[in-house]
Each structure stands twice: as C-alpha cells, then as structure tokens.
Amino acid sequence: MSQPDSPSPWRIPLVREIGIILLVKLVVLLTIKHIWFTAPTVPDNGTVRVSERLLGTPPTSPASLNEEEPR
C-alpha cells in the first residue's frame, strides 16, 4: 500500500513569493532595529531636568535671552 503524496505548500508559486517577501521584510526590520534602536539615549542630567520641570523650579537665564526689550 503506498501513501498518497501530500503536496507541499511551498510548491505553489504564490506561497513561495509571499514567504520570500515576508522573510525580506523581517530582515529589513531587524536591520533597522539593530542600527537605530540598539541603545537608549539618556540625556545629560536627565533626572535633574525632569525634577525641575515637575516641581516647578523656574528656568535659568536662557529663557530671558528670548525676551525682547521695548524701545
């Protein structure tokens, strides 16, 4: 008694093309993730800046540089 050959889904051209496209997309996404999102960016004095912002400490002189003096 011989078993009937079950056709592999990879023999269908559309399935092969979709599989290849998904594989290429996965490689591209993993490459982008590896290049741009490898390490988190931590700002200098991040906790100090956040605490100043949340606790309402007024900013120092750089804000006064943006103000115009009347003539």
pLDDT at 21 over 90: yes
Domain count across the chain: 1
User: Has residue 61 been placed in a domain?
Assistant: no
- Domain range for 26 is 10-38
User: Has residue 27 been placed in a domain?
Assistant: yes
User: Has residue 15 been placed in a domain?
Assistant: yes
Q: What's the pLDDT score for residue 16?
A: 95
Average pLDDT for the chain:
80
64 or 29, higher pLDDT:
29
What integer is the mean pLDDT of 44-58? 77
Q: What tens digit of pLDDT does each residue of 34-47 get?
A: 988 877 777 777 78
User: Has residue 29 been placed in a domain?
Assistant: yes
CA pair distance 52, 15, nearest whole angstrom: 57
User: Has residue 14 been placed in a domain?
Assistant: yes
- 11 CB-side CA count, 13 A: 4
User: Has residue 58 been placed in a domain?
Assistant: no
User: Has residue 59 been placed in a domain?
Assistant: no
